[in-house]
Structure 1
Amino acid sequence: MWFRKSLSIAAGIGLAVSATAASAEIWRFGLEEIEGSVQYEYAAEFKRLIEEKTDGDVTVELYPYGSLGGLTDIYDAVQGGAIQLAFGSGFLGGTVPESQLFSLNFILPEDEWLTTKQLNSPEFLESDAWQSAFQDRGLHPIGIVPEGFQVWTANKPIRTPEDMEGLQIRVMDNRLLLETYRAYGAQPTTIEYGELYSALQQGQAEGNIQPVFAHEEMNFYEVQDYMIFANQAQFVATAMTNYDWYQGLSEDRQAMINETADELVRYIHDVQQELNDKRLDIITENSDIEIVRLNAEQRDQFRELAKPVREVFVDEIGPRGQELLDLVLGLYEDIE
Structure 2
Amino acid sequence: MQMRKIATGVIAFSMMGAAQSVLADTWRFGLEETEGSVQYEYAQAFKQLIEEKSGGDVTVEILPYGVWGSSYSALYDAIQGGSIPLSFGSGFLGGTVPESQLMNLNYVMPNDQLETTEILNSDAFMKSDAWQQSFRDRDLVPLAALPEGYQVWTANKAIHTPADMQGLQIRVMDNSLLRATYEAYGASPITIAYGELYSALQQGQAEGNIQPVWAHENMGFYEVQDYMIFAEQSQFIANLIANQEWYEGLSDEQQQMLESTIDEMVQKGHDIQTNLNEERLNTIEQNSDIQIIRLDEEERNQFRELARPIRDTFVEMVGERGGEALNIVLDQSSSSDSSSQ
Q: Is TM (by shorter chain) over 0.5? A: yes
Q: Deviations over 1:217-245 (max 9, x none)?
A: 00000000000000000000011111011
State the match for 1:30 in structure 2: 30
Alignment of 1:66-215 (within 5 A): 66-69=66-69, 70-215=71-216
Deviation of 1:10 after TM superposition, in Å, equals 3.4
- Letter of the structure 1 residue corresponding to residue 221 of structure 2: F
**Runs of at least 5 residues in structure 2 that lack an aligned partner in the other structure:** 1-12
Q: Does 1:10 align with 2:16?
A: yes
Q: Deviations over 1:43-88 (max 9, x none)?
A: 1111111111111111110000011112111111111000110000
State the match for 1:224 in structure 2: 225
Supply the distance in 2 between the matched residues of 1:332 and 1:84 (Cα, whole angstroms). Answer: 32
Q: Does 1:318 align with 2:297?
A: no
| Gap change, CA 1:62 and 1:166, over 3 Å in 2 | same
Deviation of 1:110 after TM superposition, in Å, equals 1.3
Q: Is the 8 A contact 1:10 1:83 kept in 2?
A: no
Deviation of 1:8 after TM superposition, in Å, equals 4.3
Supply the distance in 2 between the matched residues of 1:321 and 1:81 (Cα, whole angstroms). Answer: 25
SS in 2 for 1:170: coil
State the match for 2:48 in structure 1: 48
Supply the distance in 2 between the matched residues of 1:306 and 1:238 (Cα, whole angstroms). Answer: 22
Q: Does 1:240 align with 2:241?
A: yes
- Letter of the structure 2 residue corresponding to residue 51 of structure 1: E
**Runs of at least 5 residues in structure 1 that lack an aligned partner in the other structure:** 1-6, 12-21
Supply the distance in 2 between the matched residues of 1:24 and 1:162 (Cα, whole angstroms). Answer: 55
Supply the distance in 1 between the matched residues of 2:129 and 2:92 (Cα, whole angstroms). Answer: 22
- Letter of the structure 2 residue corresponding to residue 56 of structure 1: G
- Letter of the structure 2 residue corresponding to residue 99 of structure 1: S
Deviation of 1:9 after TM superposition, in Å, equals 1.4
Supply the distance in 1 between the matched residues of 2:229 and 2:37 (Cα, whole angstroms). Answer: 21
Supply the distance in 2 between the matched residues of 1:202 and 1:213 (Cα, whole angstroms). Answer: 22
SS in 2 for 1:240: strand
Q: Deviations over 1:110-141 (max 9, x none)?
A: 10010001110100011111111111111111
Supply the distance in 1 between the matched residues of 2:327 and 2:25 (Cα, whole angstroms). Answer: 41
Supply the distance in 2 between the matched residues of 1:135 and 1:67 (Cα, whole angstroms). Answer: 27
Deviation of 1:311 after TM superposition, in Å, equals 1.1
| Gap change, CA 1:177 and 1:24, over 3 Å in 2 | closer
Deviation of 1:23 after TM superposition, in Å, equals 7.9
Q: Percent of aligned pairs with the same residue?
A: 62
Residue-pair matches, total: 321
TM-score w.r.t. structure 1 length?
Answer: 0.93
| Gap change, CA 1:23 and 1:92, over 3 Å in 2 | closer
